[in-house]
Chain A
Amino acid sequence: MKFELMAFASYSVEIGIYFAMITREELHRNRLFREFDDHELDMVRLVAEEINFEDGDLILVEGEPGKRLYMIVSGRCSVTTQISGTGTEEIKLLEENEFFGEMSLIEAAPISASVYARGKCRLMWIDRKAFDRLIDQDMPIANKLLKAIILAFCERVRDTMEKMQSYYRMSKF
């Protein structure tokens, strides 16, 4: 099973069959795949799907089980959370070439924040099975992908802590 996908992927790439409309360049621009070579990008293209959203469309729902990792090809997405007593607050605006949905795939936990389309959005997604295969079947791909996600996590943790500091300071005035 382990080598079936690899063999199929290599063969498909060789004969020019792609299941996704996403180009190598578009994938390579995404922060998850900047260290990927052409062959590795093609492996991702085989399992990635494309999807479009209109302004205000709900992409991920807080509290629901996570099934997909999303990558923004174009457009922006708003990450929001429910605040008791006041309603919905935006906690982050994700730009082109960023990604989301990975936390619930990694931890098999419910989605921690809802995500809406801000304007027209073109996204690609990978489901849990494909994500696990990418991680389990090819170590260079897995290590590049894991490093990219960890680096993004580090940035998000710093960003969240900075927000906490500024809210703390504001609450004191």
Chain B
Amino acid sequence: MAPQTLVRVAKFCEPMEAQPGEAIVVEEMPADGLYIIAEGEVDYMKSMDEMSSLFLARRGPGDIFGFTSLFDKKGHLVTVIAVTTVKCLRIKTADFFKLCAEDPDFEHHVLEELLIINSNYLRQITLRLREFLTKMLNNP
């Protein structure tokens, strides 16, 4: 990304900090922005029913979350919980789309990055689904 683009983007980044065990985004809550992890680790948790949640993935510095709900305008898909003290940057939804509209270069870079992240995510989730199916069909 061009240095001047990064400078513009930085102006829209809001620093946030979360303590271990704290939920940074909560499943089904409306999208509030795109999150970039600067320091620390987070867990993606998906509720399976009223009583239990499934661990999906652990993510760290440089990873991005919050994008699914940002794009499809539905609630957050998973709950993201801080495992360690986490420092992250948030670009609010409105600011994100403003940046995309004003700067096609920014939009292109972000879309390319999100495409790879999403594809990788979908592959992992599909593997988990296969594990579920294997367990269920082999232990009826």
Contacts and interface: CB of A to CB of B under 8 A. Distances in A.
B108 interface: yes
A164 interface: yes
A89 B50 CA distance: 28
Interface in A83-117: 83-86, 89, 91, 102-103, 106-107, 109, 112-113
A56 to B, nearest CB: 22
A164 B132 contact: yes
Interface residues of B, number: 40
A162 to B, nearest CB: 10
Interface in B108-129: 108, 111-112, 114-116, 118-123, 125-126, 128-129
Nearest to A140: B104
A86 B111 contact: no
A107 B123 contact: yes
Nearest to A142: B108
A168 B136 CA distance: 8
A153 B68 CA distance: 9
A102 B116 CA distance: 11
Given A157-B125, A158-B74, A168-B48, A85 B137 contact: yes
B119 A107 contact: yes
B138 interface: yes
Nearest to A158: B77
Contacts of A106: 115-116, 119
Interface of A: 81, 83-86, 89, 91, 102-103, 106-107, 109, 112-113, 135, 139-140, 142-143, 146-147, 149-151, 153-158, 160-161, 163-165, 167-172
The 5 closest A-B pairs by CB, nearest first: A146-B111, A153-B118, A168-B48, A154-B72, A86-B137
28 contacts: A81-B126, A83-B133, A83-B137, A84-B134, A86-B137, A89-B133, A91-B129, A103-B123, A107-B116, A107-B119, A113-B126, A142-B108, A143-B107, A143-B108, A146-B108, A147-B71, A149-B115, A150-B114, A151-B72, A153-B118, A157-B118, A157-B125, A158-B77, A160-B126, A161-B125, A167-B129, A169-B48, A169-B49
